[in-house]
Amino acid sequence: MKSSASSFSGLRLARRLALVGAVLGAAALTGCYVVPVNRGYPPVAAVQVVPQPPSSMTFTARLYPANEAAAAYGMVSGVVTNDLHGRGIFTTSINGESFSGEATRVVGTSSREGIANGAGSRGSYINCRYQMNSATLGTGQCKLSNGANFTMHVGG
């Protein structure tokens, strides 16, 4: 009977080894996963991004003194933000007073001519006429309500 007991224990050992092998194999595969490799099927769609045109452009405006009244202020900087539809916002600060208003193109003339007006925070006002020499450069004249005159350069 000894031979039948030893074959039973050998069978037990074989089952245990098979079980241990299966457990180790399963444990080794738990960290793995399948990654599909794209071999062109299905084809990948290309996405084309079309840049949007700008919704506005901002230009600097430099106002240079053109008479004795303006000489006291020196060169003054301003900003014109063009909405690209013939209108814009004009802002500047002269002697501590902030001016803000609208810049528009003159109707009935060439599309290059425009007017910019601004109301000051202390009750003064400024009126400017300008002509754009290109899409981004222009010149003009501005007059402050106290009689100060400026030569204006836009852009550049």
| pLDDT tens column, 91-117 | 999 999 999 999 988 877 667 898 999
Confirm whether 104 is domain-assigned: yes
Tell me, yes or no, whether 33 lies in a domain. no
In a domain, 16, yes or no: no
- If one counts the domains in the chain, the total is 1
Q: Sort residue 123 into left (φ over 0), alpha (ψ -120 to 50) or beta.
A: left
pLDDT band at 66 (very low <50, low <70, confident <90, very high): very high
User: Which range marks the domain in which residue 111 is found?
Assistant: 57-154
Q: What is the CATH number of the domain that holds 68?
A: 2.40.128.120
| Mean pLDDT, range 15-25, rounded to an integer | 64
Q: Would you say residue 114 lies in a domain?
A: yes
What burial class does residue 129 get, using C-beta atoms within 10 Å of its C-beta: 0-12 exposed, 13-18 middle, 19+ buried? middle
Domain membership flag for residue 124: yes
Q: What is the pLDDT of residues 125-156, one digit of tens each?
A: 999 999 989 888 999 999 999 999 999 999 87
Predicted structure pTM score = 0.63
